Amino acid sequence: MRLLVFGETGQVARAIKRLAPDAVLLPRAHADLADPAACARAIRAVRPEAVINAAAWTAVDSAEAHEAEATVINGEAPAAMARQCAGIGIPLVQISSDYVFDGTGDAPFAPDHPTGPINAYGRSKLAGEQGVIAAAAPYAILRTSWVFSADGTNFVKTMCRLGAQRPALSVVDDQIGGPTPAEAIAAACLTMAAQLRDDPSKSGIYHLAGAPDASWAEFARAIMQAAALPCVITGIPTRNYPTPAPRPLNSRLDCTSLRRVFGIPRPDWHSALGPIISQIKETAR
């Protein structure tokens, strides 16, 4: 399958390249999501059989001050991709976020649960979902959460760095979600793109998050243990760690439909953590 991937340096894009080395990955220089028309032109030029959008504005706090720009990249660009895919009859897999929900309650959010983002980043991602759906191409919107890998910038790499420098850290313990390995997201995107090409009736919104659900503090403790770091993690409430963008307290995602329709189970983040930390340490040498 000739596959076009928007993104090159992000965590999921790098994982896709490892799993599908023949895929065409487009860096920003070749398809800037700030120019949605350029994204449509790139699809016409490559003539793929499926498209995965693994590029996005991911700076959550920065989006608060730059919501218009974030909405072009996370909202208008995916919509332009989807319209082009609809025109040539190929599927689009769009990666979205748990931030489209308001984070209330303690039950996992199902794909059909009403959305209600509480920050600019979440609103921009929701705009992308709506644009993809409106285009009427074969599509899969894959909402995920708390992505980590040995690449880029993420919580695991930050904890490994700080844990090696400090004897103790305070980490929020009232935000709950599913840490998700980037490679699991990449593998899911590839599976979904292939199945959608053969069966467009599988179009819809799906969730993928690692299991089991945990707080950021619990995740941090697991990181310290896997990295053999003596740093002590103390849990604190979100109100003691203010950020420009409010964070949802509940990021749990109901992933049952993804397994039922595509045969993709929730990944065990504990088993992924050790190998990823080994890669981080190897790269740092």
Give the pLDDT score at 2.
Answer: 95
Helix (H) or strand (E) holding 46: helix 36-46
Give the pLDDT score at 31.
Answer: 84
CATH number, position 44: 3.40.50.720
In this structure, is residue 75 part of a structural domain? yes
Low-confidence ranges of the chain (pLDDT < 50): none
**Which one is catalytic: 121, 139, 206, 241?**
121
Give the pLDDT score at 171.
Answer: 98
In this structure, is residue 240 part of a structural domain? no
Instruction: Kindly report the pTM of this predicted structure.
Output: 0.96
Torsion of CA 10, 16, 17, 23, to 10 degrees: -120
Q: Return the closest-CA partner of residue 219 out of 279, 263, 179.
A: 179
Respond yes or no: is residue 121 known to be catalytic. Answer: yes
Contact 71, 117 (CB under 8 A): no
Give the domain extent around 205. Answer: 3-152+179-210+250-268
Give the pLDDT score at 268.
Answer: 98
Give the pLDDT score at 116.
Answer: 98
What is the total count of domains within the chain?
A: 1
